[in-house]
Amino acid sequence: MLPLKLTKIGNSTGVVLPKEALAQMNVGPGDTVFLTRTPDGYRLTPYSAEFEQQMASARKIMKKRRLALRELAK
């Protein structure tokens, strides 16, 4: 576990990631990472074209089957 410090960046708040974390995720300045909510908190992962394609498919199915999913959620 790596502690991260929140810093003020203009009107926003940012997190500075340690060099070791960036190297393990194989990302650098300008790259995109995803913050995903999990049952344990949040997960930060590097951009994945495969993941984006899966999410696009999921969004399409969720839009098409909205009523069925709503019933299942009850």
Quick one: 17 exposed, middle or buried, by C-beta within 10 A (0-12, 13-18, 19+)?
middle
Q: State the amino acid at position 41 in one-letter form.
A: G
pLDDT digit string (tens) for 10-62?
999 999 999 999 999 999 998 889 888 889 999 888 877 778 889 899 999 99
Q: What is the pLDDT of residue 50?
A: 77
Choosing among 3.40.50, 2.10.260, 1.20.120, 2.40.160, the CATH entry for 6-73 is 2.10.260
Q: What is the pLDDT of residue 65?
A: 93
Domain boundaries, the chain: 6-73
Beta strands in the chain (DSSP E): 6-9, 12-15, 33-38, 41-46
